[in-house]
Chain A
Amino acid sequence: MRGRTALIIGLTVLVAVVIQTTLFGRLRIVTPDVVMLIGILLALTKVRPELVLGVAFISGLVMDLLGASLIGMRAVVYTTVAYIAVRTKERAELGRVTVAVWAGVLTLVGIAMLLLVGTLFGQAGLVGDDAASVMILVPLGNLAVAALLAPPFVRLVDRDRTALRYP
């Protein structure tokens, strides 16, 4: 990973964390998890898979440190989601809609894992008081954001204007 790519990824994660903890932390209706989405979309780039996992882990850790949850919980979940994304990205690269649905499904997996790991470690209240709506709204939010931002994000990180261009 070159310096400029690292800088772009770092800045993107920083912006995502700030937006997630301010704007999306305050809204009740529009609630994507953009930090998790960064880890998912990075799998579509040419960045090495182990670095994608590292970025997902660190961004999850930052969210843990800023919040009230156990340190390492989101880091583990985001890393797992990023790993599944790395392993399944070939199935997503068919079109804009496929990428969005793929990101939405992976987010659903991530939220389910957060609930599961949270319950195991006594943090069942982590995702809020209405787990069912969170499990629907967050993946839908990420699906919408991925549909809009996945192609420009991949082009920005890879510096390749032809990336994720579909006929």
Chain B
Amino acid sequence: MLTSKRSDRALPTFISLLVVGVLLMTFDVRLEGGGVVGVLRSGTQAIAAPLQRLASFVVTPVANALDSLSNVASLREQNAELSAQLAESVAQLVAVQDQLAKLDLLEQIYDLETDEEALGRTIANVIGAVDAALIIDKGTRDGVLAGQPVIDTNGYVVGTVKSASSGSASILPIVASRSGLTVLIGSQTGTLVSRAFSSDLGLEMDFDAFDAREPVLAGDRVLTSAASTDYPAGLPVGEVLADASPESTSLTTTVRPFVDPEALRFVVVLAWPPDPITAATDDTLPETTTTTVDGDETSTTTTLPEEDG
């Protein structure tokens, strides 16, 4: 009797909470994760981060041990496969070192200065996961900001920072991201789209090119394109799974990303673009710097190109 009386107010409460929940979802969709919603996320992460970090110290060995137990059956095969990959990678490394040595020599001969700037990198531990998102132990205090690209320790693309608090951040992997990623296969630019939002769930992604000129082959590497606004150019993303030829000018194929987000323990957050203001200026009006040497005096002039029209 007592229970039935008490349940009387349960239905109005239930309906009210449902309405509030649906309203929150609508706000989140309309604000696209920004505004108040972004502040709420950052605030909750800031509160939970110390506890998660503490818990991570305790649970990481347990999680690793249980993961190892579950993978013990396939461990021998994985070891053989990794040994083969290692041998191949060592051979490639030697070849690259040889090319680098030649490059150094040529730069010295022609007195060239490289203008490469090392991107700021923040190495972070993955301390947890909620749904598809990964939680890391570095935040705005360490220079991690929303929107920055994230790679794994091998340099493969993982995803982007979705939100960041002072001591933690959440990473949205490319396989769970709704937005497409502009990539390059050979010389062809296209868009890589996650299948997480289609009926065919899985780690694979779909590559679509609309101005395709040549076929792509299984095993071709997929790299981030210079046209991408989210990632620096040239980062390895994955490899093509199946051969595909252009139909008219469009081409579609399947790509398997190199990174399985569930297996990640460490990630690297890139401070990219290095200077957003400079990058923005570069995008709009690229500067030309001219250095003139006249006897002992050296003068540098920076000019902006004339606007069209």
| A residues neighboring B (CB under 8 Å) | 14, 17-23, 25-30, 48-50, 53-54, 57, 60-63, 65-73, 75-76, 79-80, 83, 86-87, 89-90, 121-131
A28 to B71, CA, bound (A): 10
B52 to A21, Cβ gap below 8 A?
Answer: yes
A70 CB contact (under 8 Å) in B28, B62, B67, B132: B28
B52 to A131, Cβ gap below 8 A?
Answer: no
A124 to B10, CA, bound (A): 30
A153 to B51, CA, bound (A): 22
8 contacts between A and B (CB under 8 A): A22-B55, A29-B70, A53-B17, A68-B132, A75-B20, A79-B14, A125-B175, A129-B201
A76 to B130, Cβ gap below 8 A?
Answer: no
Contacts of B21-73 to chain A: CB distance below 8 A? 21-25, 27-29, 37, 40-41, 44-45, 48, 51-52, 55-56, 59-60, 62-63, 66-67, 70
A123 to B178, CA, bound (A): 9
* Known pairs A49-B9, A71-B27; A26 contacts B196 (CB<8 A): no
A76 to B25, Cβ gap below 8 A?
Answer: yes
Per-residue contact bits, chain B 158-195, to A (CB 8 Å; 1 contact, 0 not) = 00001000000010100110100000000000000010
A30 to B63, CA, bound (A): 10
- How many A-B pairs have beta carbons closer than 8 Å: the answer is 167
Interface size on B, residues (CB 8 A): 59
* Residues in B neighbouring A87, C-beta threshold 8 A: 7, 10
B234 at the interface (CB under 8 A from A): no
* Residues in B neighbouring A86, C-beta threshold 8 A: 7, 10
A131 (CB) vs chain B CBs: closest residue: B201
Shortest distance in angstroms between A122's beta carbon and chain B's nearest beta carbon?
6
A72 CB contact (under 8 Å) in B25, B59, B66, B196: B25
